[in-house]
Structure 1
Amino acid sequence: MSEQLVVELNCDMGEGYGRWKFAPDEELMPYISTANIACGFHAGDPRIMRDTVRNAVRLGLQIGAHVALPDIIGFGRRRIAITPEEMRDNTVYQIGAIKAFVESEGGTLAHVKPHGVMYVMAQDDPALGEAVVQAVADVDKSMLLYALNDKNAPIATSYGVTLVPEGFVDLHYDREGNLLIERVKQAWDPHLVADRAIRLVREGVVAANDGADVSVNGQTICLHGDAPNSVEVLRTVRARLEEDGIRVAPLVPPKS
């Protein structure tokens, strides 16, 4: 009997300020295994950070620091000229903030995931990528570092940090494997997203925007909570994965 396939489903959360909420986090949490929680630089105030962490701990979700460039107005999606030293210190600062909330609620911070354009800059510029790796190592080398692909894996390994490539099924790739970011998240057909998720897990490929198959080494799958039909998408993907015999679980099981 073959071993059951397992995949992690992660989602960005806590992206709001005051009375403004970016996505229906409480409705989405039952369908994921892992929450990437905003740390204040692109979204997330202290009250939202604690509430989001508390709900994630209660549901036994893996929790990560969703770190970003300091760009509240642009939601972390605008390029900013930043030195590697600034990138490192900004990242340490954000990890420390969310780590304090997580530990005060009885949880453990398990990973770090850059947000928006910081994600791309850390991937494209080796010095900035190394700065993010250094920041993770500064705080806790046991934390995983999520990335668009495994390009920076050797840098991470040199610091004793484990890099985890992500796969995306509610965004398009081009045929070169570059992720095509939607400035405003669009609604996707939930069953199409589920089909893409199943294929990524079973075959390691997704269809590019021109229909060509692209190899994607996605050890975790990111689904976006800000789509107009995000709850339907996540609910459908979770159900379809389980119907297909694929178990959804965090990469770092919560401590009992």
Structure 2
Amino acid sequence: MLLNCDLGESYGNWRMGLDEEVMPFLDQANVACGFHAGDPFTMEKTLKLAAEHGVTIGAHPAYPDLVGFGRRSMAMSAEELRSALLYQIAAIDGMAGTLGVSVEYVKPHGALYNDMMANGEIRDTVMRTVAAYGKPMTLMLQATTAAEQHQDEAAALDLGLLFEAFADRCYDVDGRLLSRRKPGAVHSKERMLAQVEQLAKKSTVTTVSGDTLRLRVDSLCVHGDNAEGVQAIRDIRKLLTDHL
């Protein structure tokens, strides 16, 4: 099971995340493409950092919502969304090419990610856009009980998928993340590590109702926004390395 993290989210004088501290523990870096966060300098710096540590690079596109950090849904036509995705993927892929590295996958950010999972038409647009890009890339999306359906949708487009789980989030009965508005949505450190171990050993999570849910998981999303998050990533990496 791989570890992925959203990175490159600084912008101008605004600093977000502890990318230098986090990168040595990761397998995959989801690099912001400028629409919700990131700027050309930050993108280049993050790509170089990922290359230095041998971390696989992914494009992390979003709705064009810099003010809202990409966390607000936007009513875009399929054509508008397609163009916005292509613009962002091409930007990070082109910059990566000048550094001799490659972008291997796409993971939508924030509201676009959530909308993709909830709305079949949006997911279809995202899948078709990634599948039609000028070189093969995989799409990262959330591992849920609908994974088989999502796999069939992608297979029809000859698109590869990466299914991800979340280390620190509680799961609802349908395999989606429990809303942050509900108690227990974010795990304590102890519960987080227990969930990671359960996922790695058994490919299951325990839902908010206490049921056991089997998930196909290729990659685990972690967060390095602060010192506590960096330490949590260290602990997760150590757990995966030492005990599994």
| The two structures share one fold, judged by TM-score above 0.5 | yes
Structure 1 stretch 208-217 or stretch 71-80: which is displaced more?
A: 208-217
1:33 equivalent among 3, 6, 27: 27
Return the structure number with greater relative CO, CA threshold 8 A, min gap 6: 1
Aligned to 2:130: 136
Aligned to 2:234: 235
Instruction: Count how many residue pairs are aligned between Structure 1 and Structure 2.
Output: 237
Secondary structure in 2 matching 1:221: strand
C-alpha RMSD of matched pairs (Å): 1.8
Please report how far the alpha carbon of residue 228 of structure 1 lies from its aligned counterpart in structure 2 after TM superposition.
5.7
Please report how far the alpha carbon of residue 46 of structure 1 lies from its aligned counterpart in structure 2 after TM superposition.
0.5
Structure 2 segments unaligned to the other structure (5+ residues):
none
Q: What is the CA deviation profile of residues 186-221 of structure 1, one whole-angstrom value per residue up to 9, with x for unaligned ones?
A: 985444322211210211111223433222221111
2:57 equivalent among 49, 56, 63: 63
2:18 paired with 1:24: yes
Please report how far the alpha carbon of residue 180 of structure 1 lies from its aligned counterpart in structure 2 after TM superposition.
3.0
Secondary structure in 1 matching 2:104: strand
Please report how far the alpha carbon of residue 79 of structure 1 lies from its aligned counterpart in structure 2 after TM superposition.
1.2
Higher strand share: 1
Aligned to 1:179: 177
Aligned to 1:169: 167
- Give, as a single letter, the amino acid of the residue that structure 2 aligns with 1:214: L
Q: Distance in 2 between matches of 1:37 and 1:14?
A: 5
**TM-score (norm: length of structure 2):** 0.91
Q: Distance in 2 between matches of 1:94 and 1:188?
A: 32
2:119 paired with 1:125: yes
- Give, as a single letter, the amino acid of the residue that structure 1 aligns with 2:159: V
Please report how far the alpha carbon of residue 104 of structure 1 lies from its aligned counterpart in structure 2 after TM superposition.
1.1
Q: Distance in 2 between matches of 1:76 and 1:181?
A: 18
- Give, as a single letter, the amino acid of the residue that structure 2 aligns with 1:47: F
**TM-score (norm: length of structure 1):** 0.87
Secondary structure in 2 matching 1:152: helix
- Give, as a single letter, the amino acid of the residue that structure 1 aligns with 2:169: L
2:43 paired with 1:49: yes
- Give, as a single letter, the amino acid of the residue that structure 1 aligns with 2:4: N
Structure 1 segments unaligned to the other structure (5+ residues):
1-6, 246-256
Aligned to 1:77: 71
Please report how far the alpha carbon of residue 140 of structure 1 lies from its aligned counterpart in structure 2 after TM superposition.
4.0
Q: Distance in 1 between matches of 2:165 and 2:215?
A: 6
Q: Distance in 1 between matches of 2:47 and 2:180?
A: 27
